[in-house]
């Protein structure tokens, strides 16, 4: 009879898929891209599902199976295939590319409280840009404090918030089916097959970065490979389940938005408040008043608070791993008595605040929110390129990197697919630099374009400066 406590608790592949689903796609992601492309986004989701999502998540499955004893995910893969320096560059890029998203989450947390308190989106009209930036910085500071005292509670909060967000997203699709089942007509007219074909122009191409941003992130589940009983075999199953769930929610969720919204006349602040409008309109259609709105606003507040806490902790810890330490100043890797990288938290907060202050130079809260959101469609896809380059290197050197799960048996075809995903991701990120929510030729368009260039350059510059400081410190110790 085995001794008590001798059995190890493993994470099953369906649980890994569900955990990863929360980080990959959310209701907001569907709304953002519906605003950019209208009903045409349904065509884009289907196209990207086969040309990008399935290959991308199968490559994650292949790499996860290859490096099933590594706990660092994409950073470990890049270090194994490209060396320590590239490991640091990847670690920095992955971490710093998450900062605009952290700012976006902090903004969304603030907005969710506005809807809970006011029952509408009037906060954007009442609050100045400087107050919006200040309260966002306060939220960062509060969550750094919370990290010290309520860490276990926040883990529970993340499960509740993530689970609730998944449920309400499915609820929206179910209510759409019920609405049409009652014989009601979609608010978008005409609602024909032709309406789902996007207009292939520069605006359409410049929005692809945000589509990729919405669909990427499956590699965040990679560290859990070591917690699975048979990661080599089961992790790819989780990626297949994730791909199916992503396709289901993006296609049907966007279809449902076309039913409850008029895709030809969308609110200007749809990216910032669209999720709330969606549930508000649904409540009105079913004669339930503000019930669905408050249900979603509460869910969004829980989800965003939990996500912010996890991002501040997990992102900072990943970056300050052993991979990066030799390239970082000593003070930055210092841990407090609870084992938390407190100086790393403050660096995170400092850069996030700088980004927020720069973006606060835009004329209103809606412009600020849209610019910070679209910034994710630039920096995040660039980061995903590291994953595809690692897959290509693994397939080029199959004698060194063995995997139980092989995505595409033919080596040359696999490399070609990896190069294809790298090319469209890099291209989408580059095109994303051009503003999508402003009219070309206007001062606002030039302002946003300047921010889209300056803010990533600042992130790159800090990533270069930190190793220089670390080298200076080492040389000083030697002398």
Domain ranges of the chain: 16-478
Residue 6 is predicted with a pLDDT of 44
The mean per-residue pLDDT over the stretch 118-135 comes to 80
> Do 368 and 361 touch, CB atoms closer than 8 A?
no
Residue 323 has pLDDT above 70, yes or no: no
Residue 2 is predicted with a pLDDT of 43
Topology classification of domain 16-478: Amino acid/polyamine transporter I (1.20.1740)
| HEC secondary structure over 118-171 | HCCCCHHHHCCHHHHHHHHHHHHHHHHHHHHHCHHHHHHHHHHHHHHHHHHHHH
Residue 311 has pLDDT above 80, yes or no: no
379 compared with 341, residue with greater pLDDT: 379
d(CA 134, CA 136): 5
Q: Phi/psi at 436 (nearest 5 deg)?
A: -105, -15
Task: State pLDDT tens for residues 180-234.
Answer: 999 899 999 888 888 898 888 888 888 888 888 888 777 766 666 767 777 777 8
d(CA 6, CA 66): 27
Cα 305 vs. chain centroid, distance in angstroms? 15
Residue 50 is predicted with a pLDDT of 87
Confidence band of 340 (pLDDT split at 50, 70, 90): low
Task: State pLDDT tens for residues 381-415.
Answer: 888 899 999 999 999 988 888 877 788 889 999 99
Token duo for residue 118? 């006011």
The mean per-residue pLDDT over the stretch 74-101 comes to 82
d(CA 345, CA 353): 12
Which of 285, 326, 320 shows the shortest CA–CA distance to 180? 285
Residue 302 is predicted with a pLDDT of 83
Token duo for residue 334? 């210092």
Angle at 372 between CA 368 and CA 375, to 5 degrees: 140
125 compared with 108, residue with greater pLDDT: 108
Mean pLDDT of the chain: 82
Which of 344, 343, 329, 330 shows the shortest CA–CA distance to 469? 329
């Amino acid at each position: 009879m085995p001794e008590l406590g001798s059995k190890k608790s493993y994470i099953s592949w369906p649980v890994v898929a569900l955990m990863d689903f929360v980080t990959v796609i959310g209701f907001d992601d569907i709304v953002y891209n519906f605003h950019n492309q209208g009903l045409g986004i349904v065509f884009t989701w289907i196209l990207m599902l086969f040309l990008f999502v399935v290959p991308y998540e199968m490559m994650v499955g292949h790499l996860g199976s290859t490096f099933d004893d590594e706990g660092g995910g994409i950073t470990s893969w890049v270090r194994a295939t490209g060396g320590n320096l590239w490991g640091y560059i990847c670690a920095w890029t992955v971490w710093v590319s998450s900062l605009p998203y952290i700012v976006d989450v902090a903004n969304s947390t603030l907005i969710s409280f506005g809807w809970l308190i006011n029952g509408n989106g009037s906060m954007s009209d009442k609050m100045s840009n400087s107050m919006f930036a200040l309260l966002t910085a306060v939220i960062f500071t509060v969550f750094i404090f919370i990290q010290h005292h309520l860490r276990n509670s926040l883990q529970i909060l993340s499960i509740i918030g993530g689970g609730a967000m998944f449920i309400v997203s499915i609820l929206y699709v179910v209510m759409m089916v019920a609405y049409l089942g009652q014989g009601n007509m979609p608010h978008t007219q005409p609602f024909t097959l032709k309406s789902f074909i996007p207009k292939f122009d520069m605006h359409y191409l410049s929005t692809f970065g945000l589509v990729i941003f919405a669909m990427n992130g499956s590699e965040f589940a990679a560290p859990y490979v070591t917690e699975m009983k048979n990661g080599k075999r089961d992790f790819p199953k989780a990626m297949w389940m994730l791909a199916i769930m992503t396709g289901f929610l993006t296609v049907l969720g966007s279809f449902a938005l076309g039913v409850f919204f008029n895709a030809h006349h969308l609110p200007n602040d749809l990216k910032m408040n669209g999720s709330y409008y969606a549930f508000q309109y649904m409540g009105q259609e079913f004669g339930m008043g503000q019930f669905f709105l408050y249900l979603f606003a509460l869910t969004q507040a829980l989800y965003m608070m939990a996500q912010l806490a996890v991002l501040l902790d997990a992102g900072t810890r990943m970056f300050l791993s052993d991979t990066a330490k030799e390239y970082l100043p000593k003070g930055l890797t210092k841990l407090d008595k609870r084992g938390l990288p407190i100086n790393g938290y403050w660096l995170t907060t400092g850069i996030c605040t700088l980004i927020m202050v720069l973006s606060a130079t835009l004329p209103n809260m809606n412009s600020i929110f849209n610019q910070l959101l679209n910034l994710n469609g630039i920096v995040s896809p660039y980061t995903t390129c590291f994953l595809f380059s690692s897959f290509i290197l693994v397939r080029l050197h199959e004698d060194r990197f063995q995997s139980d799960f092989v995505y595409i048996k033919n080596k040359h075809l696999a490399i070609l697919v990896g190069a294809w995903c790298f090319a469209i991701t890099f291209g989408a990120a580059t095109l994303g630099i051009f503003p999508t929510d402003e009219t070309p030729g206007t001062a606002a368009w030039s302002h946003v374009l300047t921010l889209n260039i300056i803010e990533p350059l600042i992130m790159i510059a800090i990533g270069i400066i930190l190793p220089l400081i670390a080298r200076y410190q080492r040389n000083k110790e030697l002398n």
